[in-house]
Structure formats: structure tokens, C-alpha cells
Amino acid sequence: MFIGVTRIFDSARCFYPEKDPDAPTEVVYNPYKKEDRKCLLCRTGVELDYKNARLLQQFVSTFSGRVYDRHITGLCDHQQKRLVETISLSRKAGYMPIFVKDPKYTRDPKLFDPLRPIRPHSFA
């Protein structure tokens, strides 16, 4: 009876070898990996709403009323598309002017500098 028990333990040692103390340790994460770049809206978790004209005016040109491109705003594709859709909905609902930026929002703090884009434009 004891002979059979020792065989089971002997076979278990084959499947689960003891760790060698001289073996290199495995690192679970890479300490040198850079953090993923996230856009301003994804990083802060701000939801776009067509009634929030003050936030939407930050992404509109003061002189022409056009929406700034991705390379200036630094937004990801998904958020840029949602921004354009939300601005058009806000303009149709009458919360935002169509051709110019509302003058009462010109002194708001800037989220980005349109004269110094975050990424260079491919056509420049």
C-alpha cells in the first residue's frame, strides 16, 4: 500500500519541478513602456453635449467659424467625429452661431493653441 503512494508522489515531482533559485525572475510588466497617448476628451472623460456651447466653442475658429482639424485639437478619430456631429447638431438647435465664434466665449481659457498645432499637418 505504501509503495503505490510513493509512486504517485514521485510522478507528481516530475510534473511540478522545484524552482531553481539561480533562474532569472520573470517581470510581469515593462517598466520602460511609455503610457498610451490619449486625447484631451478621453483623458478627462468629458462627454460632448450639444447644449454645452461653451465647451464646443473651444474647438471652433474665432474668425471663420470652422471646426479645427485633428492635428490642431489633438483629438482621436472617434472624438473628432463626435465633435463635428455635436457641433452641427448644436448649430441646428440654435445653441451656437454658424459662421463666427460667439464673442462672449473669446476670453475663455484655451485648450490648445491653433497657431502651434500638436502634430504637424501632412500638407504643410
Predicted confidence (pLDDT) per residue in 79-122, tens digit: 999 999 999 999 999 999 888 777 777 777 777 777 777 777 66
pTM of the complete model: 0.65
pLDDT at 22: 81
CATH architecture of 39-124: Irregular (4.10)
SS3 for the chain is CHHHHHHHHHHHHHHCCCCCCCCCCCCCCCCCCCCCCCCHHHHHCCCCCCCCHHHHHHHECCCCCCECCHHHHCCCHHHHHHHHHHHHHHHHHCCCCCCCCCHHHCCCCCCCCCCCCCCCCCCC
**Domain map of the chain by residue range?**
39-124
